[in-house]
Structure 1
Amino acid sequence: MRPVFRVIATVVALGLSSCGAASQSLKPIPSSRAASPAATPTEPVSSPTATPASPANIVDAASLAIELAGVEQAIRIPDTATEEYVVLGQRQQQAYHLLAAHRDWVGAVLGSIPAPLRAVVQDNLSAAQQIDDLNGARTTLPHWRIIDPPTSDVLLSYYRESQQSSGVQWQYLAAINLIETNMGRIQGLSSAGAQGPMQFMPATWASYGRGDVNNPRDAVLAAGRYLHAHGAPQNMTGAIYAYNPSWLYVRAVQLYAKQMFDDPHAFLGYYNWQVYVQTTKGEVLLPEGFTG
C-alpha cells in the first residue's frame, strides 16, 4: 500500500491541478477490515474514547486547509489505491470535526482551499452542522452495537439494485444510509424506536419492508420503495422529508448526495467514516465492537 501522506503531499505540491478529472466509475472497495495488512489477530478495541487528537501538523487554519484540500483531492484521484480510502476517509472525517470545533477558522480555511474544492468543503461542513443541530448532545452513550458493515462494493450493489427497481438514485440512498447508521455500522434502536441500517419504524416496515429489517439489502430496497411512494425520484425533497420530517435532515441528505453526484469517489471516503456521538461532555468515538 502506498503511504497516504505521500499521496496528499504530491497533490498539494501539484497545486491540486487535477481537480475534476476523476473518473465517474467506481472501483470495488474493500471493507476497512479487508484493507488491513495480514497480522496476528487481536481483540478489537471496544471501549468508547474521546475524539482522537488532531495530527500534530494541524495547528491553525492554514494547516487544516492543507489537510482538507489534500485529503479531498486524494479521494477524487482515479488511481488512488482502494485500500488507501480507509485512512483517507478517517482523516477526512477528523478534519471536518476539527473544523467544526474551531468555527473561528472556517473563513480562513475556506479562503485557503483551492476554488475547485471550496464548495466540497463548505457542503461537507454544512451537512455535518445540520446533523449536529438535529441530534443535539446526549447525556449518556447510546445503547448501540458497532459492527463491521458490508463491504462498500456490496453496499453499492444494493443501492444500484434499489435504484433500478424504485428510480431513486443510489447517491440519495447512500447519503441516507450514512446519516442513519454510518453505512450500517450502528446496530440498535433510535430514540424513537426505528431499527435496521436504514432506520424504519415498525409500522413503516410493515408497509414497505420485505424480509428482515436488519438485513442491509432488504432495508435499502425498502427505503427505495418508501421514497418512491412519497414522490421520488421526481420530488426528492418531499420524499426525503417524508422519510424524516426535518429540514435539517433533508438538507444534510441533499448535501452528501450532491458530493457523490459530482464525483462518485466521494462515496469511498464516506464509507470509511467511523461512529462518533456528541455528548454533553464532548465528542466520543464508538469503535467497532462497542456495545452500549
Structure 2
Amino acid sequence: MFRPNVNTMSRFARDLAVVFTLCGMLAGCSGSPDTAAPAAPSTTSHPPAATVAAPAGAQPRLAQDPARLAEDLVADERALRDPSTPGPALTQATRRQQVAYRAIGRHPEWDGTIRPGIPAELVAFYDRNVDARRHLATLAEPRDTLPAWRIVPPVPAEELLAAYRDAEAASGVGWAYLAAINLIETHFGSVRGDSSAGAQGPMQFMPSTFAAYGMGGDIHSPRDSIMAAGNYLAANGFAKDPDRALFRYNNADATCTPSRTTPPR
C-alpha cells in the first residue's frame, strides 16, 4: 500500500484546488488519453492556431515544438475565460489544455521555452497546473497490468459542481478541494472499480468509513460520496489544518494507492 508524504499529497491537492478556483469552471472535466509528446523544439515560430471544435470523438493534437505548444496553450486558456466561446470549441480547448499540461509535466526541460511565453495574467494558473501534474507523477508508479476497471462518462460538470457546493455548505470544506480529490481518486468518477485495498465509489471510500460519514447514502453515488468526503475532512480537522485532513483522507482510507491516483493511459 502506498503511503504518500503528507507535504506531497496535501500540496498536490492544494495546487489542484487553486487550479479549479482560478479556472472558475469544470467545463470539459472528462479527461482524454494522453497524446504523443511533442518532438524536440524547432526554430520556426508560428502564430497560435484558432480555437475551433474538432470532430466528435477526435483527440486533441499538440503542436510539434514547445514554443508553438505554449502559443496554443495560451489561446486555449483565453478561450476558456471568454464567455463568447461556443460550447464545442470550449470543450475542445479544455481537452487540448489538459493534454498540454500532461506533456509539459513530463518534460521539465521544456520549462525554459514554454514558461516565458505565458502572459503574466496566466502564469499563476500555469505554475499550479504544472506543479500539480508533477506531484501527481510522484504519487504513482507505472504498472505492467491494469485492474478490472471500467471507463465511463463522468457525471455532467454542472451536477458535480452542485454537489461540491452543497458539500462545502454542509461541511465547510472548500468545493475545490473536493473536486481535486475526485480528480485524484477516479478522474471525476470516470474510472469505475474497487482499489486493491477495497475502496469503492467516486471518492474511493472504504465501506466502513463511508458507513460512518455517508449519512445512509450510496457509496457509488457521486453526490453521496462527495457529501461524505466533506463530512470526513471536517471531522478530521480541515478547518484548522487542511493539509493534515487531506493526508488523513488518503492515509487512513488507503485510497491513495498507485493503482488509483491516476486514470489509465
Name the counterpart of 1:177. 182
TM-score, normalised relative to structure 2? 0.71
1:76 and 2:70 matched: no
Identical pairs, percent: 42
AA in 2 matched with 1:178: L
Native 8 Å contact 1:30 1:83 kept in 2? no
**1:224 matches 2:230:** yes
1:29 deviates by 5.9
1:141 aligns with 2:146: yes
Report SS of the residue matched to 1:142: coil
Which of 242, 247, 259 in structure 1 is aligned with 2:248? 242
Q: Please tell me whether the aligned partners of residues 143 and 188 of structure 1 are also in contact (alpha carbons under 8 angstroms).
A: yes
**How far apart, in 1, do the equivalents of 2:120 and 2:74 lie?**
10
CA distance in 1, matches of 2:124, 2:24: 22
- Select which of 90, 95, 105 maps to 1:90: 95
**Cα 1:29/1:105, change in 2 over 3 Å:** closer
Distance 1:24 1:136, change over 3 A: closer
Give the superposition deviation at 1:276: 4.4
Distance 1:120 1:109 in 2: 14
How many residue pairs get aligned? The number is 214
Deviation string, structure 1 residues 226-284 (Cα, Å, up to 9, x no partner): 011011234222211111149xx99xxxxxxxxxxxxxxxxxxxxxxxx843xxxxxx3
Q: Which protein, 1 or 2, shows the higher relative CO under an 8 Å CA cutoff with sep ≥ 6?
A: 1
1:213 to 194, 208, 219: 219
Distance in 2, matches of 1:230 and 1:31, equals: 28
- Given that 2:35 and 2:61 are in contact with CA atoms closer than 8 Å, whether structure 1 keeps it comes out as no
Cα RMSD, aligned residues only: 3.0
Q: Distance in 2 between matches of 1:117 and 1:185?
A: 28
Structure 1 CA distance, aligned partners of 2:65 and 2:136?
A: 25
Gaps of 5+ in 1: 1-22, 33-48, 251-274, 278-283, 285-292
Report the alpha carbon displacement of residue 156 of structure 1 after superposing the two structures with TM.
1.0
Q: State the alpha-carbon separation in 1 of the partners of residues 62 and 94 from structure 2.
A: 18
Most deviating of 203-212 and 180-189:
203-212
Task: Note closer, same or farther for the CA distance 1:245–1:111 as it changes in structure 2 (3 Å cut).
Answer: farther
Q: Look up the equivalent residue of 1:139 and give its one-letter code.
A: D
**Following TM superposition, by how much is the alpha carbon of 1:191 offset from its aligned partner in structure 2, in angstroms?**
2.7
Measured in 1, the distance between the counterparts of 2:106 and 2:249 equals 29
Q: How does 1:234-273 map to 2 (within 5 A)?
A: 234-245=240-251
What is the DSSP-based 3-state SS (H/G/I as helix, E as strand, rest coil) of the residue aligned with 1:135?
A: coil
Cα deviations across residues 172-200 of structure 1 (Å, max 9, x unaligned)?
Answer: 11111111111110111123221100010
Q: Deviations over 1:68-99 (max 9, x none)?
A: 21112221223333443321221011111221
Alpha-carbon distance in structure 2 between the residues aligned to 1:123 and 1:186: 24
Q: Deviations over 1:10-42 (max 9, x none)?
A: xxxxxxxxxxxxx9976x96887xxxxxxxxxx
Please show how residues 108-123 of structure 1 align to structure 2 within 5 Å. 108-123=113-128
The one of 29, 35, 39 equivalent to 1:52 is 35
Aligned to 1:200: 205
Going from structure 1 to structure 2, the CA distance change for 1:30 and 1:134 (only over 3 Å counts) comes to closer
- Contact 1:96 / 1:125 at 8 angstroms: preserved in 2? yes
Aligned pair in 2 of structure 1 residues 228, 31: CA closer, same or farther (>3 Å)?
closer
Taking a change above 3 Å as real, the CA distance of residues 30 and 94 of structure 1, as seen in their structure-2 partners, is closer
Q: Which secondary structure state, in structure 2, belongs to the residue aligned with residue 244 of structure 1?
A: helix
What are structure 2's unaligned runs of at least 5 residues?
Answer: 1-21, 39-59, 257-261
